[in-house]
A = this chain, B = another copy of it.
Amino acid sequence: MFKPARPIKVGVLGATGAVGQRFLQCLDGHPWFEVTALGASGRNVGKKYGAVPGWRLSSDVPKYVRDIELVEGEPGKDWDCEIIFSSLPSDIAGETEERFAAAGYKVFSNARNHRTDPDVPLMIPEVNPDHSSILRYQQQQRGWDKGFIITNPNCTTIHLVLALKPLQDAFGLKKVLVTSMQSLSGAGYPGVSALDIVDNVIPFIDGEESKVESEPLKLLGQLVESNTRFVDAEIAISATCTRVAVREAHTETVSVELGRKTTLHEVAEVLQNFQSEPQRLQLPNAPINPVLLRHEHNRPQPFLDREGAGAMATTVGRLRHCSILDYKFVLVGHNTIRGAAAASILNAELLTVQGYVGN
């Protein structure tokens, strides 16, 4: 099993936000990465992380970060690290991440800004581990020496595509119709007002459906022309995204039309046997099975299944025929761990083994 020669230093942009807190929780005790810098906005700069109010995870602030002093989110000597994990809000993420990349940092971003850039990989290690090969072209195009930007998808997309990838590989994939019931944490903090969601459903999440309809096409697409251009997969996706009163984990009802006829049994086999590059490489955060298939009639449920495989798996259940498309199922996945913070970290683990980091 791979192990870097020495600890790799990482910094976190947006360290006090909802996803930032998950980054620090997921990096606690990481075997390869060492947190050396934490960025925050104005009024918290200069404070120790442990002295900033607003930690909202049920575990306490990890001990290892309590005494780290928050610094401004701009490249410079305060950022003594090779990797930048970014959970910045999208109004500032775009340009800040570029400044860090230009300054030589390797930026793993959870923000949406660069996901659709033609020279930026949008990656899930189980899905398109080869898409990092565009990075040399990215650096060349942008005149960056050592730095680069790599992104992970939206939380709803990640879990959807983890379930779609084995189907695409085995049978081909033509149509996907999905309704999501998304959790509160996906909207950040303070995010959703309690008055909008207690005893209610909100049938709309701004910008979400277009992400869910487009990001999978890049993820399931090809990197062509000597690793310089992405070609989208030819899949039709239709999404309706809603918000429900669940703290954590998105639920998605999915119907798919496959490329060839198969059987329910084969579909089940393919889902539960799915393993890919992170499993082969035994990356620290890789689940043994990225897709957990459950056979109980009333699973998956966000409360019961969000922690599946250390919150790194997508749990699929209720697999059955669909009278309109071919098959349908329900999936549940943790949106701020596998769907956000740990998505970036797993990308960084993959790129470390691939040699883009730690050298």
Contacts and interface: CB of A to CB of B under 8 A. Distances in A.
Interface of A: 18, 53, 56, 58-59, 175-177, 179, 181, 184-185, 189-204, 213, 236-238, 240, 242, 244-247, 251, 253, 255, 296-304, 306-307, 317-318, 322-325, 328, 330
A198 B195 contact: no
B184 A247 contact: no
A198 B201 contact: no
A199 B324 contact: no
B201 A181 contact: yes
Given A193-B194, A194-B192, A59 B307 contact: yes
Contacts of A297: 204
Given A177-B324, A179-B179, A200-B301, 11 more contacts: A177-B255, A181-B201, A190-B196, A194-B197, A199-B246, A200-B246, A200-B302, A203-B301, A203-B317, A204-B297, A238-B325
Given A203-B253, A236-B324, A193 B195 contact: no
Contacts of A203: 251, 253, 298-301, 317-318, 330
Nearest to A193: B190
Nearest to A206: B297
A244 B301 contact: no
A188 B247 CA distance: 21
A298 B202 contact: yes
Contacts of A53: 296
A300 to B, nearest CB: 7
A245 B244 contact: yes
A58 B319 CA distance: 22
Contacts of A306: 58
Contacts of A322: 177, 238
Interface centre among A185, A191, A298 (most CB of B within 10 A): A298
Given A199-B199, A244-B181, A236 B175 contact: no
A213 B328 CA distance: 14
A340 to B, nearest CB: 15
A189 B198 contact: no
Nearest to A297: B204
Nearest to A237: B323
Contacts of A213: 323
A143 to B, nearest CB: 38
A58 B253 CA distance: 21
A157 to B, nearest CB: 16
Contact of A194 (B176, B194, B296, B328): B194
A191 B242 CA distance: 21
Nearest to A318: B203
A87 to B, nearest CB: 16
A55 to B, nearest CB: 8
A239 to B, nearest CB: 9
